């Protein structure tokens, strides 16, 4: 005869509600860890997927994910001239917010180096990858766009050719993959009035110069589009991704790049570390603090619950002692109920969490290591929480059955 099971059957309703409450509390603890894991995965996703040997970014900056980085696209050709480099790809990224379909949509624009990079590595849920240099893009499913849908950005209309899954940026916004040229157009395109004012400003500056007075033809050229003016460089990119050939001396190649005054050089591992130590660090510490508080609260709640359950059984415990039951029987009663409560709460946390987490605004990733950690934490909480109940049960005297 198992006394713990019989006691649970006798108080099934209260025990079930208690287990449900503990399970929901443990679900939040599990979710906090999953949110942090999701933030880490989202932050390092592009670095891992692009898989470049070296990242060339603007000098004295930490890369396009940590801060603004601006490089001339001609750096791609310069990098290819370095011995040991087999490929160099332009890369551009920025975040925009637009209204589409009556709702505000925030997306991270990622420019791929067409035609070297057509997005073959993208995990498509439907549709296809980029097939032409302009006016196509691949969007993540979190943006709510479907294959064939059109999105107006500036004066141009772009068509969704494919939909990815779990391609999220550091801030939790969905990624949208364009060619570099389209990404630059979206970032630097001005309204017609702004373009007209900018051209008039160039013309006015040229009129104030002696060169403009002596060569009137320059005034006419100043009013032309930017791309026709050789003195004004093309649109900037965020980084250049470099791949080394087999057997190449990575240290020597990096030393060459570090000798260039206009760039800073990082490996993929260094870019990943900069992300985790920068934008993700505060979120990690904050979530860690919340997890610690929730674990402490869980321990207190379980201790109070088990203590209350023990108080309700004081008469029964005194009766057991009066008929000669050993202390280990009383100890087993309290511990078995504690671990049964924790086990049921753990199962509830897992089952309910797996149904609820997909609806969270941020991705929640539950790993096997996290489940094992939580199981160990629940066991420790049950043991610690039962101490107060055991202390009270051991102090019960057999003659208290007569009171």
Task: Tell me the per-residue pLDDT of 229-285, one tens digit each, with 9 for 90 and over.
Answer: 555 556 789 999 999 999 889 899 999 999 999 999 999 999 988 888 877 788 778
Residue 147's SS3 state is: coil
The tokens describing 18, both together, are 């208690």
pLDDT of residue 397: 66
Q: How far is Cα 222 from Cα 201, in angstroms, rounded to an integer?
A: 9
pLDDT of residue 6: 64
Q: Cα 313–318–321 angle (5° rounding)? A: 125
CA 190 and chain centroid, separation: 31
Is the pLDDT higher at 179 or at 276? 179
Burial class (CB in 10 A: 0-12, 13-18, 19+), 260: middle
Residues forming a β-bridge with 263: 58
Q: How far is Cα 59 from Cα 260, in angstroms, rounded to an integer?
A: 9
Name, of 171-185, 280-294, 303-317, the range with top average pLDDT: 171-185
Q: Considering only CA atoms, which of 237, 264, 262 is closest in space to residue 54?
A: 264
Residue spans per domain, the chain = 3-42+281-402, 51-277
The answer to which of 22-26, 40-44, 241-245, 269-273 has the lowest mean pLDDT is: 40-44
The answer to which of 3-7, 41-45, 78-82 has the lowest mean pLDDT is: 3-7
Task: Tell me the per-residue pLDDT of 330-373, one tens digit each, with 9 for 90 and over.
Answer: 677 777 878 888 899 999 999 999 999 988 888 899 999 989 98
Is the pLDDT higher at 227 or at 320? 320
Which residues in 63-143 belong to E strands, given as ranges?
85-100, 103-112, 124-127, 136-140
pTM score, whole prediction: 0.76
Residue 2's SS3 state is: coil
Q: What is the average pLDDT across 97-113?
A: 90
DSSP state string for 170-223: TTSPEEEEEEHHHHHHHHH---HHHHHHHHHHHHHHHHHSHHHHH-THHHHHHT
**Backbone dihedral angles phi then psi of residue 280, each to the nearest 5 degrees:** -90, -20
pLDDT of residue 157: 93
Q: Taking 60 as the threshold, does the pLDDT of residue 222 lie above it?
A: no
Count the neighbouring beta carbons within 10 Å of the beta carbon of residue 16.
13
pLDDT of residue 321: 63
Q: Taking 70 as the threshold, does the pLDDT of residue 212 lie above it?
A: no
pLDDT of residue 78: 92
pLDDT of residue 294: 83
pLDDT of residue 283: 79
The tokens describing 256, both together, are 């060459």
Residue 239's SS3 state is: strand
Q: Taking 70 as the threshold, does the pLDDT of residue 140 lie above it?
A: yes
Across all residues in the chain, what is the average pLDDT? Answer: 82
Q: What is the average pLDDT across 75-82?
A: 92
User: Among all chains, which residue has been given the structure tokens 């939790």?
Assistant: 172
Q: Taking 90 as the threshold, does the pLDDT of residue 149 lie above it?
A: yes
Q: What percent of the chain has pLDDT over 70?
A: 78
Contact 55, 241 (CB under 8 A): yes
The answer to which of 154-158, 171-175, 328-332 has the lowest mean pLDDT is: 328-332
Q: Taking 70 as the threshold, does the pLDDT of residue 319 lie above it?
A: no
pLDDT of residue 1: 42
pLDDT of residue 202: 62
């Amino acid at each position: 005869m198992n006394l713990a099971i019989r006691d649970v059957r006798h108080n099934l309703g209260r025990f079930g509600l208690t287990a449900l409450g503990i399970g929901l509390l443990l679900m939040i603890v599990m979710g906090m860890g999953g949110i942090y894991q999701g933030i880490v995965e989202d932050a390092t996703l592009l670095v891992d997927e692009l898989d470049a040997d070296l990242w060339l970014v603007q000098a004295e900056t930490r890369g396009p994910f940590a801060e603004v980085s601006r490089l001339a696209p001609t750096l791609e050709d310069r990098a290819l001239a370095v011995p040991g480099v087999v490929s160099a790809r332009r890369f551009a990224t920025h975040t925009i917010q637009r209204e589409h379909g009556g709702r505000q949509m925030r997306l991270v624009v990622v420019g791929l180096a067409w035609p070297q990079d057509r997005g073959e590595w993208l995990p498509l849920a439907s549709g296809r990858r980029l097939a032409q240099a302009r006016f196509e893009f691949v969007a993540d499913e979190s943006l709510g766009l479907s294959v064939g849908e059109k999105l107006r950005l500036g004066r141009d209309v772009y068509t969704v050719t494919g939909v990815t899954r779990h391609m999220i940026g550091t801030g939790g916004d969905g990624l949208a993959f364009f060619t570099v040229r389209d990404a630059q157009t979206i970032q630097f395109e001005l309204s017609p009035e702004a373009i007209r004012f900018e051209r008039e400003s160039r013309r006015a500056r040229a009129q104030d110069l002696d060169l403009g007075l002596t060569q009137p033809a320059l005034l006419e050229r100043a009013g032309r589009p930017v791309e026709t003016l050789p003195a004004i460089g093309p649109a900037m990119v965020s980084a250049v991704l470099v791949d080394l050939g087999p057997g190449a001396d990575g240290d020597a190649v990096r030393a060459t790049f570090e000798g260039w005054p206009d760039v800073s050089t990082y490996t993929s591992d260094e870019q990943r570390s900069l992300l985790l130590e920068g934008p993700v660090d505060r979120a990690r510490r904050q979530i860690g603090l919340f997890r610690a508080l929730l674990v402490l609260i869980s321990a207190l709640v379980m201790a109070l619950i088990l203590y209350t359950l023990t108080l309700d059984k004081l008469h029964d415990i005194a009766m057991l002692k009066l008929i000669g039951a050993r202390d280990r029987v009383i100890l087993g009663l309290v511990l078995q109920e504690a671990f049964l409560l924790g086990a049921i709460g753990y199962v509830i946390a897992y089952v309910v969490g797996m149904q609820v987490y997909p609806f969270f605004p941020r991705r929640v990733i539950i790993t096997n290591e996290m489940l094992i950690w939580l199981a160990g934490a629940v066991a420790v909480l049950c043991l610690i929480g039962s101490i107060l109940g055991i202390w009270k049960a051991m102090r019960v005297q057999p003659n208290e059955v007569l009171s």
